[in-house]
Amino acid sequence: MPGAISPALAQVAGAATPPLDVSLRINGTEHRLSLDPRTTLLDALREHLHLTGSKKGCGLGQCGACTVFMDGMRVKACLSLAALAQGRDIKTIEGLAQGDELHPLQTAFIERDAFQCGYCTSGQIMAGVACISEGHAGSPQEIREWMSGNLCRCGAYDHIVAAIQDAAAVSGSTQGG
Amino acid sequence: MHPLVLERPRDLSAALSFGAQAGRNDAPVEYIAGGTDMVQLLQEYVRRPDRLVSLAGILDDGIEIGPQGLRLGAAATMAEVAAHQAVVEQFPLISQALLNSASPQVRNQATMGGNLLQRTRCPYFRDIGYEACNKRAPGSGCAALDGENRWHAVLGTSDDCIAVHPSDLAVALVALDASVELRGTGGDRSVPLSDLHRLPRDTPHLEAVLEPGEVITAITVPATTAGLRSHYLKVRDRASFEFAVVSAAVAIETDGARIRQARVALGGVGTKPWRLPNVETALAGADFEPAVLRQAAALAAEGTRGRGHNDFKIELMQRAIVRAVEIAGARR
């Protein structure tokens, strides 16, 4: 069957590999972890640090639900090995709001009803914040092109584009990177 | 993911000493840089190295332009190169090819060296549920020959592999006579990009000419190709975030209303980035009359072999060349 992993292979995959000491700086806080070298940044965030805002959709870099910032740039956490993110400054959706004050794009997502099931939302918001701060939110067409790394299976795209336009209009306060 | 040891060497010479093998699919020790393609392939068990050697933070990521031309450090990201002012102004073909590749997130992660060495999108290669793939498992056969081969190559194919090389960047760079600088434990060497990738022949698992330990340290583009009128035309199934069905990289020098010299390369149709010297020769001295351009582009069909579902590419790639030459010619 296409896509099936044989039981023998799955067993090998479960075998132990020597753990690595990894230090990760997440939302301004340093975390020391002992990780299997195969651990992705996304799994380190979710399974080891219980920062479950970043979602795992495809695990292959296609859907964008795991979008986080690394040194201020948006990246896919599922395509980064955690051990290789050491020394980088990582920001997740949990680090976006200032205390109880939501980021303008978070507010815009609520006002524009820019989600249905919500699974892609944290990735959309992180990518959207980057889209604005990069200067790629000048028109609906430009937003669509520069948000192409984030899929929404509920099809909330029109409202997502509108929310990004709203937040871009209050720029200055939207330099979230 | 197969169990592996991850090495994080302090400098490049330490990294080279592990003897990692880039550009072949049966290597027990491999490099990882940006990781955007490698992690996918590891997650899918397509590649199963015992040891990964990280190049993070130890490869040149500079972008320099000088009298010799353009030099892109191997660790420069796709996003950095695409947005670099000198690249945009003097080598817009490169910027255009990059901005038509992948997604913004991936372009922030993926590096120049890794982009050139990324693996094919052939679904039979990327899904270990299919037993037959000579590229992944030498000698196992090719499921694409009589399978779903709409996305596959029509140039440079063999009876063992018809997988397309997926890089847009490489197509633009081949058109601009780029070279890659390699470093190994034995020293440095420079290889024309057109010689970096191997044709599949009967060893499709060997994809590049790198020796054990060798890494790409930089890409160089000669100053003679700076400032040309150019266009990267990418035909794909979706408007964005999709690999090419067919792409054409064109750069031309004009003399009044005539083409003095043309550079033409194709993506989406070859087992490696595909330069078309016969089309270039036919375009030299031509005007922009559609019939003349079509006649020159028809030479791209020489040596093609379709496998059924992908037969349409042979016509489509000729039309893509004509369109790209017309757009390039209309640029100021």
Q: Report the C-alpha gap between A135 and A127 in whole angstroms.
A: 12
Q: Report the C-alpha gap between A153 and A147 in whole angstroms.
A: 14
DSSP SS3 for B306:
coil
Q: Report the C-alpha gap between A166 and A112 in whole angstroms.
A: 9
Q: Report the C-alpha gap between B320 and B231 in whole angstroms.
A: 11
Q: What is the pLDDT of residue A15?
A: 59
Contact A149/B108, CB-based, under 8 Å?
Answer: no
User: How crowded is residue A49: how many other Cβ atoms within 10 Å of its Cβ?
Assistant: 18
CA B238 to chain centroid, in Å, comes to 20
CA B244 to chain centroid, in Å, comes to 11
Residues 107-146 of A with CB under 8 A from B: 127, 130-131, 134, 136, 144-146
Structural domains in chain B, sorted by start = 5-56 (3.30.43), 228-330 (3.30.390.50)
Contact A84/B3, CB-based, under 8 Å?
Answer: no
And the tokens for B220?
């160089």
And the tokens for A102?
């939501």
CA A122 to chain centroid, in Å, comes to 7
Nearest to B181 by CA among B39, B267, B310, B70: B70
Q: Report the C-alpha gap between B201 and B162 in whole angstroms.
A: 10
DSSP SS3 for B222:
strand
Contact A38/B5, CB-based, under 8 Å?
Answer: no
Q: Report the C-alpha gap between B131 and B141 in whole angstroms.
A: 8
Nearest to A137 by CA among A173, A166, A103, A114: A166
And the tokens for A59?
């695990």
Q: Report the C-alpha gap between B103 and B80 in whole angstroms.
A: 14
Q: What is the pLDDT of residue A18?
A: 85
Contact A40/B39, CB-based, under 8 Å?
Answer: yes
B35-54, pLDDT tens digit by residue?
Answer: 999 999 999 999 999 999 99
Q: What is the pLDDT of residue B331?
A: 86
Residue with structure tokens 């069909």? B301
Q: What is the pLDDT of residue A3?
A: 44
Q: What pTM value is reported for the model?
A: 0.95
Query: What are the Cα distances from residue A151, in Å, to A18, A45, A64, A146, B174?
Result: 36, 21, 7, 12, 33
Residue with structure tokens 């790394």? A149
Residues whose CB is less than 8 angstroms from the CB of residue A76 and which lie 6 or more positions away in sequence, other chains included: A61, A64, A66, A67, A149, B36, B105, B106, B109
Flag residues of chain B having pLDDT under 50.
Answer: none
Flag residues of chain A having pLDDT under 70.
Answer: 1-16, 172-177
Contact A84/B109, CB-based, under 8 Å?
Answer: no
Conformation bin of residue B227: beta by default, left when phi > 0, alpha when psi is -120 to 50: left
Contacts of B32 in chain A (CB under 8 A): 81, 84
Mutate to test the interface with B, among A71, A84, A147 (most CBs of B within 10 A): A84
Question: Are A147 and A155 a contacting pair, CB within 8 Å?
Answer: no
DSSP letter, residue B197? B
Question: What are the beta bridge partners of residue A103?
Answer: none
Query: What are the Cα distances from residue B263, in Å, to A57, A62, B222, B224, B284?
Result: 42, 33, 14, 12, 10
Residue with structure tokens 């524009």? A112
Q: Report the C-alpha gap between A20 and B5 in whole angstroms.
A: 9
Question: What are the beta bridge partners of residue B183?
Answer: B188, B215
And the tokens for A123?
């990735």
Q: What is the pLDDT of residue A174?
A: 42
Residue with structure tokens 């080891």? A48
Residues whose CB is less than 8 angstroms from the CB of residue A172 and which lie 6 or more positions away in sequence, other chains included: none
DSSP SS3 for A11:
helix
Mutate to test the interface with A, among B6, B96, B125 (most CBs of A within 10 A): B6
Q: Please name the helix (run of DSSP H) or strand (run of DSSP E) that holds residue B264, with its range, or none.
A: strand B258-267
Contacts of B5 in chain A (CB under 8 A): 17-18, 37
Q: Report the C-alpha gap between B297 and B250 in whole angstroms.
A: 12
Say how many Å lie between the first and final Cα of chain A, rounded: 43
Structural domains in chain A, sorted by start = 17-95 (3.10.20.30), 104-169 (1.10.150.120)
Question: Are B183 and B12 a contacting pair, CB within 8 Å?
Answer: yes
- The runs of H, that is alpha helices, within chain B are 12-16, 36-43, 78-83, 85-90, 92-99, 104-109, 112-116, 123-126, 168-175, 277-283, 290-297, 312-330
Phi first, then psi, for residue A27 (nearest 5°) are 50, 40
Contact B3/A12, CB-based, under 8 Å?
Answer: yes
Contact B109/A131, CB-based, under 8 Å?
Answer: no
